[in-house]
Structure 1
């Protein structure tokens, strides 16, 4: 630790006035005492921690996770196969986001899909990735609403800014023509720009019918399936406690 390093860290925090003081100290005394350096270091460490904590608060708020406190570590693997456990552990590492890959989590109601998706999202947030979660029906509704109000391009642009979009309960209902076109545009626009975490009660083979219109369905599903890991949960329904909500919910 020296004054040059400290000055750079102050500047990185945009504390340019403090950085100037450190620079003047360097000119006045090239070898300041360790007591002085420790005080300056304690100040910058405190500010770095403060900035990081505030960033986490902002990221968590913007993520709008259904279960904000969900942790992958709390997931009960039960009778899940070693292959599924491997894919979950691999997804926790997060490298797939840098490669713009996707995670698809399927399974019957109650197997923990949403909790797992929120757990993945929380790990990504801790690593500084931007995330936002949508329920499938809410996303389709908002896309339709923004199109009617003439703000669809702006909304689409906003959705493309997040490193990861979590879409919960995918393919829950069949789409109308305009809806499927907008869904395609969202998936196509985010291609090679960001990643998806998708949960669904239905397997890939059932998604085609829910999207409808073969050409668009093929285009959407190809862009997802060719770039995704598929975590197929087979376990029994679980009841998972989310204490922040003050109740126990079946996921």
Structure 2
């Protein structure tokens, strides 16, 4: 049964709503149906995104004094304006400072605004590309999906070296997305250090330019958030 049907039955059986007019009851039931449809759509988008933590949300972020996390900036990013403008986002910080959770929370916010999103650790994406048969339909469909999603999140970006052929494919993905989709990367290293994990200087420069030229940066500081959560939850 639909949310509309459940609500109509609830209103009919609950004396608390006896004073409501017929129009009020129908309007309320329609609102419940619309909310249920939006929730189903959001859940479908979250499932398709491959995020390992679909429950991550901006409402649960910890704005500790030494984290350099600004509520106004997060609120603006959660609105999706950066996605509409095909802007990139780079989240930097040391290990366990909360980069991945912030990226997942922004993905959740994007799905709640009905943007399409995909989440990959860069190593996992590299492994998946390595096993997909070149020129196979499966590989082409996979790449098309990466090219066309509204937000592509690459977690742990260039933490470890990647093969040159994967670096070339990564450049092709970023080039296809340039000006048409937003890419969010998290990294322990500043962009100038990404060169160290790429063997080809030309490809390294091109990847850097594709991401950084239209990117907003968030530098996360503060405590180890895994330890903080264990101590305060």
Structure 1, unpaired ranges of 5+: 1-33, 243-247
User: What's the counterpart of residue 220 of structure 2?
Assistant: 233
Deviation at 1:39, TM superposition (A): 5.5
Q: Give the 3 Å change call, closer, same or farther, for CA 91–53 of structure 1 in structure 2.
A: closer
User: What's the counterpart of residue 59 of structure 2?
Assistant: 73
Separation of aligned partners in 1, 2:116 and 2:166: 25
User: What's the counterpart of residue 106 of structure 2?
Assistant: 120
Q: TM-score, normalised by structure 1?
A: 0.75
Separation of aligned partners in 2, 1:69 and 1:125: 12
User: What's the counterpart of residue 103 of structure 1?
Assistant: 89
Deviation at 1:168, TM superposition (A): 0.8
User: What's the counterpart of residue 51 of structure 1?
Assistant: 37
Structure 2, unpaired ranges of 5+: 1-19
**Corresponding pairs, count:** 210
The question of whether the paired residues in 2 share the 8 Å contact of 1:91 and 1:103 is answered with: no
Q: TM-score, normalised by structure 2?
A: 0.80
1:185 to 157, 164, 172: 172
Separation of aligned partners in 2, 1:199 and 1:100: 17
How do 1:158-177 and structure 2 match up within 5 A?
Answer: 158-177=145-164
The question of whether the paired residues in 1 share the 8 Å contact of 2:150 and 2:181 is answered with: yes
Q: Give the 3 Å change call, closer, same or farther, for CA 99–178 of structure 1 in structure 2.
A: same
Separation of aligned partners in 1, 2:55 and 2:150: 20
**Highest CA radius of gyration, 1 or 2?**
1
